[in-house]
Amino acid sequence: DIQMTQSPSSLSASLGDRVTITCRASQKIHTYVNWYQQKSGIAPKLLIYAASNLQSGVPSRFSGSGSGTDFTLTINSLQAEDFASYYCQQSYRIPLTFGGGTKVEI
């Protein structure tokens, strides 16, 4: 299975901050990475697909980058509604696997 290692597991940030979350794959996976946001008690929401493509309706302060084994989710100018957990997911090979998550706290 392809392991997805996210870091950090949690972080504290302030409104207006720029936040960066990283995800490292255990093998090269081109750009087959998707990113999700999950607020407490609610289903995850797709933010970014294929490493850098913004899902329709997602604010442009979210961006993704990377290829091969190292990927990054960036949130520019953190807003109150962005405090949540974030997960990466590889779609290069079955079984589909997720990172362990990053909790963004105030």
Partner 1 sequence: QVQLLESGPGLVKPSETLSLTCTVSSSSISSSFSTSTNHYWGWIRQPPGKGLEWIGHIYPSGSTYYNPSLKNRVTISEDTSKNQFFLRLSSVTAADTAVYYCASIGQKELDFDYWGQGTLATVSS
By CB under 8 A, name the binding residues for partner 1: 1, 32, 34, 36, 42-46, 49-50, 55, 87, 89, 91, 94-101
What is the smallest separation between the CB atom of 75 and partner 1, expressed in angstroms? 19
The nearer residue to partner 1, 82 or 99, going by C-beta atoms, is 99
The nearer residue to partner 1, 15 or 50, going by C-beta atoms, is 50
Q: Rounded CA gap, 43 and 1, in Å?
A: 24
Phi, psi of 22 (to 5 degrees): -115, 155
- DSSP secondary structure code for residue 81 in this structure: G
What is the smallest separation between the CB atom of 19 and partner 1, expressed in angstroms? 19
Q: Rounded CA gap, 58 and 101, in Å?
A: 19
The nearer residue to partner 1, 76 or 97, going by C-beta atoms, is 97
Let me know: does 64 contact 35? Beta carbons within 8 Å.
yes
